[in-house]
Structure 1
Amino acid sequence: MKSTRLFLVLSLTLILAACGGTTSVKPTSQPTVSSGSKAPPPPIAKKGGGYYLDDGPGDNPPADIDGIPDAVPRAEVPLARANRPYSALGTRYTPMTVYVPYKQTGIASWYGKRYHGQKTSSGELYDMYGMTGAHTVLPLPSYVRVTNPENGRSVIVRINDRGPFHSDRLIDLSYAAAYKLRLIGKGSGLVEVEAIDTRPGKASSQPTPPIETPLPPVSQPLAESTTAFVNPVPETMPVNGDYVQVGAFKIESNAEGLKDKLRQNNLVGNVSIASWYNTGTYRVLLGPYVNREEADRAAAQIKQVLSTNAIVIRK
């Protein structure tokens, strides 16, 4: 009987707590804040609610996350065990083992308390309040500058883990880095990622000048700049219809290299493939397809095989 009364009391307590109601602590929008602005930071969520799989900050986050200093670039020896070729979710990746000029635009996601304290690919423990990140092929360790083009905010993080293994994402950031970039409320967002040259004699704290990024290996997602799709249909495209755009490049040889990869993987099918030039950009296009459904299927297959962006456009 005593146990029955205890059960009824606990049940009643839970029901009353549920009736009290709670609201999601996830912000519904993010303010547009330029770098150096004094606008208030986004609210720090408390435990539970609003985040994917209940991820988010810990129970006692630092009082001033914006005050957490960026990673300080320095020359480090790449870890042999962490830079070997590997496979993840059916895709083969070949990491870089030396510095190579790298600048890409793509989607950044972040991870928080769910992985706090767990071991990273470099063997270090993940600190959600450290300025770190994960990348599929950049050397471990290495340093990158990550910029949010929406608000101009920029941070420097140390790459010490592998991921993200989603074809539509470019980099994973620590909770602190995402917070400083104002990406927390959205869960993910568009960023620019640029490798920092830390070799002796280089200005390690500054990003390298803009350099055309070489065509990545097949295993590396090709993150395209948003400006590449402002006018995706070349003026000289001869036939109306549905096309699949796989990439956009400033250097013609990069576009030709991607065309070769599409042919080698039997992804062209019965349509034409060309690198159409317009407004200073070479766009790799396949088509025209019989209809939109055929184009959608082709784009999905290309994305699955090459782990790269493929979008359907219509002229």
Structure 2
Amino acid sequence: MKFRSQIQILILFLFVISGCSTHLDTTYDPVHIPSSKSTIPKKNPATQKPYKINGVKYTPLASATGFVQTGLASWYGKKFHGRKTANGEIYDMYAMTAAHKTLPLGTWVSVHNLENNKKIVVRINDRGPFVYGRIIDLSYTGAKKLGVLGPGTAKVKVTALGRATSYSEKTKNPIAFTAVDYWKGNFTVQVGAFQVKANADNYRYKLSRNYQNAHIKPFEDYRGTFYRVRIGRFTNLKDAERFSDKLMEQDFSQAFAVAE
């Protein structure tokens, strides 16, 4: 159909907004750590689309309940400071965050350094590390507190805590957690992303003739503004994924479900 061929042509830059960095460099050494840094996130997206790095496919977990993992921790710092993370935040090397390949974004985890017995709590907001044998990439501050900066890596035990439900008024650190059903929330299906707003508007208008709730979600990072075109609104991830599969059968070859 002519309309379908137009859709295929107009689906641009779908993966230009991907936030999955490889985190291969772990030797950056800033000169100081601010004494006070809030760790309260503005937003914790509930899910992430399956992705491939170096030909390997990673499928994020639907739930972090009961998750425990032992392996090597590494860290990433200055080179990635100020860049977009996988959940859309800007990476802050001084915050208590970390990257994990499959844990749900927004999950708080306890990291226990098995070599010096130090422990920290960090929030997963990025994907990585994509180096064999490593299970978690810590922020600069997290690595410093855990004693990982000097050696670069350390054997650790990662235990998922869940979503933070309350924070310390004094330190702003999380003090209570709860398990989260990551299948429930607000979801939609993304079918395209544009750097020119007029193109996104035209695409949304054409889609609205056949699909309800076609809408545009602007996104900004250091590269500029992207206008993400999405279809549908769902309160269950499985429903969004079913709709995404249906769209893919209708020539939306790169449609995928996302949390809003």
- With structure 1 as the length reference, what TM-score do the two structures score? 0.42
Distance 1:177 1:68, change over 3 A: farther
1:212-255 C-alpha deviation (Å, 9 max, x unpaired):
xxxxxxxxxxxxxxxxxxxxxxxxxxxxxxxxxxxxxxxxxxxx
Equivalent residue, structure 2, for 1:247: none
Q: CA deviation at 1:151?
A: 1.9
Q: CA deviation at 1:166?
A: 1.8
1:76-123 C-alpha deviation (Å, 9 max, x unpaired):
65344xx11111111111101333211111100001111111111111
* 1:181 matches 2:146: yes
Query: 2:32 pairs with 61, 79, 85, which one?
Result: 61
Equivalent residue, structure 1, for 2:45: 78
* 1:137 matches 2:93: no
Q: Provide the C-alpha distance between the structure 2 equivalents of 1:154 and 1:70, rounded to a whole number of angstroms.
A: 19
Aligned residues: 148
Equivalent residue, structure 2, for 1:205: 175
Query: 1:195 pairs with 160, 168, 186, which one?
Result: 160
Q: Provide the C-alpha distance between the structure 1 equivalents of 2:84 and 2:54, rounded to a whole number of angstroms.
A: 19
Distance 1:53 1:150, change over 3 A: closer
Contact 1:75–1:200 under 8 Å retained in 2: no
Q: CA deviation at 1:54?
A: 8.5
* Aligned pairs for 1:1-315 within 5 A: 55-58=27-30, 60-62=31-33, 67=35, 71=39, 78-80=45-47, 83-198=48-163, 205=175
SS of the counterpart of 1:127? coil
Higher helix proportion, which one? 1
Distance 1:84 1:71, change over 3 A: same
User: Unaligned stretches of 5+ in structure 2?
Assistant: 1-23, 167-173, 179-260
Equivalent residue, structure 1, for 2:183: none
SS of the counterpart of 2:162? coil
Contact 1:108–1:172 under 8 Å retained in 2: yes
Contact 2:26–2:76 under 8 Å retained in 1: no
Contact 1:70–1:157 under 8 Å retained in 2: no
Q: Provide the C-alpha distance between the structure 2 equivalents of 1:111 and 1:129, rounded to a whole number of angstroms.
A: 11
Distance 1:142 1:100, change over 3 A: same
Q: Provide the C-alpha distance between the structure 2 equivalents of 1:61 and 1:127, rounded to a whole number of angstroms.
A: 13
Q: Provide the C-alpha distance between the structure 2 equivalents of 1:75 and 1:205, rounded to a whole number of angstroms.
A: 17
Q: CA deviation at 1:69?
A: 6.3
Q: CA deviation at 1:70?
A: 8.4
SS of the counterpart of 2:134? coil
- Sequence identity, in percent? 42
Q: Which has more radius of gyration?
A: 1
Contact 2:163–2:177 under 8 Å retained in 1: no
Aligned amino acid, residue 61 of structure 1: H
Runs (4+) of structure 1 moved beyond 2 Å? 52-55, 67-72, 74-80, 97-100, 197-201, 204-208
Q: Provide the C-alpha distance between the structure 2 equivalents of 1:182 and 1:94, rounded to a whole number of angstroms.
A: 30
Higher strand proportion, which one? 2
Aligned amino acid, residue 95 of structure 1: P
Q: CA deviation at 1:57?
A: 2.8
Contact 2:113–2:155 under 8 Å retained in 1: yes
- With structure 2 as the length reference, what TM-score do the two structures score? 0.50
Distance 1:128 1:68, change over 3 A: same
Q: Provide the C-alpha distance between the structure 2 equivalents of 1:134 and 1:120, rounded to a whole number of angstroms.
A: 9
The alignment yields a C-alpha RMSD, in angstroms, of 2.9
Aligned amino acid, residue 57 of structure 1: D
Q: Taking CA–CA contacts closer than 8 Å with sequence separation of 6 or more, which of the two structures ends up with the larger relative contact order?
A: 2
